[in-house]
Amino acid sequence: MHLRDGLQTHATVRQRYDHLVVSGAIGRDPAQERITAALDRLIDEISAKRLAHKSSALGWLFARKRETHEAVKGLYIHGGVGRGKTMLMDMFFELVPVRRKRRVHFNDFMADVQDRIQKHRQARKNGDAKEDDPIPPVARKLAEEAWVLCFDEFSVTDIADAMILSRLFSALFANGVVLVATSNVAPDDLYRDGLNRQLFLPFIGILERHTHVLALDADKDYRLDKLSRMPVYITPANADADAALDAAWEAMTHGRPTAGKTLTVKGRQVVVPAAAGEAARFSFADLCEKPLGARDYLAIAARFSTVFIDHVPVLGEGRRNEAKRFILLIDTLYDHHVRLMVSAAALPPDLYTAKRGNEVFEFERTASRLVEMQSRDWLEDWADRQKARTPPSLDRSATITRPSDPTAGALPS
């Protein structure tokens, strides 16, 4: 905290950033410093607006009518993976002196919006709602709940989302919402090559009118640089391994909020115990001691680019089912080039001790892939793919529904 004009106010993003530099947690970067200045200016503008509205008893009554004239432009920060965008936005979110604020992964936000739209349509059908168009009431409710919105990983991949974004955000901005977003791409590259993109283009103009677009052109991928110095396969799976994976998780997620998620696959629920952005963390038991099948592992690989697995045990004759699932899991993650971080009871060649059955030969391939996924070439290729990645055709939202498959959930034969 510091004093300004005799009044105690919030600390600044720059102060928080400088503290991390001095402590050695991060290196100083001029591009990041420019973003801290923009975030601090936005905090000041939001604070001034908030004080102006509170300055008279009628301020809140007439606030909505004055929004058009008092609108605060937010920030859209884009740049490559690991440049520090999320770290800086999280500093802003913590420091902005607003009670009604929300920080959320963009895909999770849009999943929530689609759910609200569906509920409104059902309420209208039941006679419990008056408005035919669900967008205005949904936007009003969202603005009432949070008028400062922080989106991590702004990426449009789903046509259902793309078709409503212009109207949704026009309504949100009309209700006084201030947006801060991070993205790997500039606004003009959102939903590039998407179906019916011409219908999406007006949203880009709306976004640019209501945010200052800033490029974070840091020279170094700080997250991947830190991760590259960490082991990706740790054995034995003891307390030291737990601490090492915890440190790797912190580096991968950059301190962003971690929460459980659920993937819906053919109407069934696949629980993700911990997720943040495109990283997910499971125990071996979560993935291989439950009746999961190929489609479940495909859904995980489609949603997450990095998967952590804690406590892989040595598997013997009595754990054939778990071994078959583990073989299938590693094959899926390998084929989709998902980065893997593992703690295990033994080195890959020693994880399966059975002496008979097809699994003996299949596990030789699994062990080879586990070794390859630790290699420098594999990790550099993963990093290159992350930097060059374009939005996939599959919507990477928290809920994934797959076509009907009678074998889903069953063990491979």
Tell me whether the CATH fold assigned to 2-215 matches the one assigned to 222-388: yes
CATH, range 2-215: 3.40.50.300
Is it true that the peptide bond before 236 is cis, omega within 30 degrees of 0? yes
DSSP string, 34-74: HHHHHHHHHHHHHHHHHHHHHSSTTHHHHHHHHHHHHPPPE
The number of residues in the chain equals 413
Q: What is the pLDDT of residues 45-88, one digit of tens each?
A: 998 887 766 654 445 445 444 444 468 999 999 887 667 888 89
Domain boundaries, the chain: 2-215, 222-388
What integer is the mean pLDDT of 186-213? 87
Tell which residue, 398, 340, 402, 326, has the closest CA to residue 371: 340
pLDDT grade for 101, boundaries at 50, 70 and 90? very high
Which tokens sit at 146?
């949070």
Q: What is the pLDDT of residues 105-162, one digit of tens each?
A: 888 888 899 899 999 988 888 888 788 889 999 999 999 999 999 998 888 877 888 8
- For residue 280, the model assigns a pLDDT of 93
Residue 4 confidence (pLDDT) above 60: no
**Mean pLDDT value across the chain:** 80
- For residue 336, the model assigns a pLDDT of 87
CA–CA dist 122, 125 (Å, integer): 5
Distance of CA 93 to the CA centre of its chain: 16
The verdict on domain 222-388 having CATH code 3.40.720 is no
- For residue 399, the model assigns a pLDDT of 37
